[in-house]
Amino acid sequence: MLAGSFRADRKRPAVPSVLRHRTYRRLFTAQVVALAGTGLATVALSLLAYDLAGRNASAVLGTALAIKMVAYVVIAPVAGALAGRIPRRALLAAMDLIRAGVALALPFVTQIWQIYVMVVLLQAASAVFTPVFQATLPQVLPREEDYTRALSLSRLAQDLETLLSPALAAALLTVISYDWLFAGTTAGFLASAALVLSTVLPKPVPVERTGGTVAFGGRLFRRTPRLRALLALDLAVASAGAIVYVNTVVIVRAHFQHPAGAVSLALGAYGAGSMAVALALPRVLATRGDRPVMLTAAFTLPPALAAVAALTAAAPATPTWAAMLAAWALIGAASSAVLTPGGRVLRRSAAEADLPAAYATRFSLSHGCWLLTYPLAGWLAAGAGIPVTAMVLGALSLAAALTATAAWPARDPARIAHVHPDLPPGHPHLSTGGRRHTHHYVIDTHHPAWP
């Protein structure tokens, strides 16, 4: 019987256990099809900008990217408040429908200012959808190992969207005009909305705190040491990632003088490094924990950027090109090792009712880091050259990694002994063990400061 059972187990399909969870499977599918639609829209929007602006298309797209980041920073904190007032299934589906409507309208745009308006609407909806979606997953998957696998799958989905959507768009453009890519985007968002509506989501936990959601999110990050460290780690990743997203085309085309197809190869190396680490992380995190993995990865970024500075200062050659691809893969791997466990850190640092506020605040603050490093990478490269840009961004990533190390205590238990001298006798919270007790500690109504 044991041998037969063993053989039967070996014949089971190699499907990650988390995908056998029906609710999560539908949510993950919704995320994948929405990401595919977003990728098609990115290509189509670039072509639309070129049709309208010609040689000034880069300026148009640069402005659109800045608008995207501003929308993320400003709108995302509102998501936490909306998640507590509107049923999440209805809220998520509504944001998908808004994005579908914008995508459907884009082919009819005839003025550059109209592009900017559409980008504001599109990214405002995404700034609400994404943190609410992220805050829902811990409730759908309460077991930490399942949630960790879900974070890895989400990272893989994002990397695959970056790598495969341009290839899919290129294949489609051989048989259709780019206007039809917006139809594909619309279909992706509509499919995502249908999947969300077909899913029964857990009811939000009632919020007991006083004060606004936006203010609480900022207070949560200021007063939780590991969350201050998480923000510094986001800055380290943004410093390294900015040179990849902003300067890859200049490095490949101007320095190495390779054809346009080599740009995709370089970005593919970055994505491959990220995906490889995302696949390995669930097992690594189970044995090593979040802090060692994330800090080690953060300290990998400065030497990688120093290598980029040296490679772009040297004469272009085949060995330096291969080394550049390796540096891009290393940056992708280290970035993934920092970003993927971030959800675990957030989940550990907030009460279940406060997760929407925590995820919305992190979404806003992390994109604020990118809003800083994107223009820094562009302006420095144009004025001082790529080697100087890489060194400055490397110094910024090193400072961020050192800040994270100082902010995140080496001994960081979830359960902390603390005293409540301010609570009146008989308060329900004191029933767990009197004024001095020990439990999983997070900033909330009864715990306004870190002990």
433 part of a folded domain: no
Mean per-residue pLDDT for 209-222? 77
pLDDT of 175 = 81
b/e map 232-265, b = 16+ CB within 10 Å: bbbbbbbbbbbbbbbbbebbbeebbebeeebbbe
Q: Which of 177, 204, 231 is the last residue of a domain?
A: 204
The answer for residues whose C-beta is within 8 angstroms of residue 166's C-beta and 6 or more apart is 39, 43, 264
The answer to whether 152 touches 281, Cβ cutoff 8 Å, is yes
pLDDT at residue 15 above 70?
A: no
12 part of a folded domain: no
Which of the two residues, 173 and 209, has the higher pLDDT score?
173
Say yes or no: 173 and 251 in one domain.
no
Q: Which of 149, 169, 204 is the last residue of a domain?
A: 204
Q: Residue 185 belongs to a domain with what CATH number?
A: 1.20.1250.20
Beta bridge partner(s), residue 436: 419
CA angle, 375 as apex, 270 and 296 as ends, to 5°? 45
Say yes or no: 123 and 252 in one domain.
no
pLDDT at residue 174 above 90?
A: no
Say yes or no: 232 and 377 in one domain.
yes
d(CA 274, CA 158): 10
pLDDT of 427 = 82
147 part of a folded domain: yes
pLDDT of 212 = 61
Q: What is the rounded average pLDDT for all residues in the chain?
A: 87
pLDDT at residue 2 above 60?
A: no
Say yes or no: 223 and 150 in one domain.
no
432 part of a folded domain: no
Residue range(s) defining the domain that contains residue 171: 24-204
Mean per-residue pLDDT for 346-368? 91
Mean per-residue pLDDT for 103-124? 90
Which of the two residues, 174 and 289, has the higher pLDDT score?
289
Mean per-residue pLDDT for 139-157? 90
Looking at beta carbons, which pairs linking 195-198 to residues 24 or more positions away fall under 8 Å?
195/26, 195/27, 195/29, 195/30, 195/33, 196/26, 196/27, 196/30, 196/89, 196/92, 196/93, 196/96, 197/89, 197/93, 198/26
447 part of a folded domain: yes
Residue 392: pLDDT band by 50, 70, 90 thresholds?
very high
pLDDT of 7 = 41
| Least confident among 63-77, 163-177, 336-350 | 163-177
pLDDT of 69 = 87
Say yes or no: 58 and 158 in one domain.
yes
pLDDT at residue 241 above 60?
A: yes
d(CA 12, CA 385): 54
The first and second tokens of residue 323, run together, are: 């080394």
9 part of a folded domain: no
pLDDT tens-digit series, residues 313-356: 999 998 999 999 999 999 999 999 999 999 999 999 998 888 88
Say yes or no: 114 and 240 in one domain.
no
Q: Which of 162, 182, 204 is the last residue of a domain?
A: 204
Mean per-residue pLDDT for 215-241? 95
Say yes or no: 398 and 314 in one domain.
yes
Closest CA to 349 of 407, 390, 281: 407
Residue 274: pLDDT band by 50, 70, 90 thresholds?
very high
Say yes or no: 190 and 241 in one domain.
no
pLDDT of 329 = 96
Say yes or no: 217 and 159 in one domain.
no
Count structural domains, the chain.
2
Say yes or no: 375 and 260 in one domain.
yes
Say yes or no: 280 and 387 in one domain.
yes
Mean per-residue pLDDT for 200-229? 81
pLDDT tens-digit series, residues 34-69: 888 888 887 788 778 878 887 677 677 767 878 888
428 part of a folded domain: no
11 part of a folded domain: no
Say yes or no: 318 and 402 in one domain.
yes
Helix, strand, or coil here: 393?
A: helix
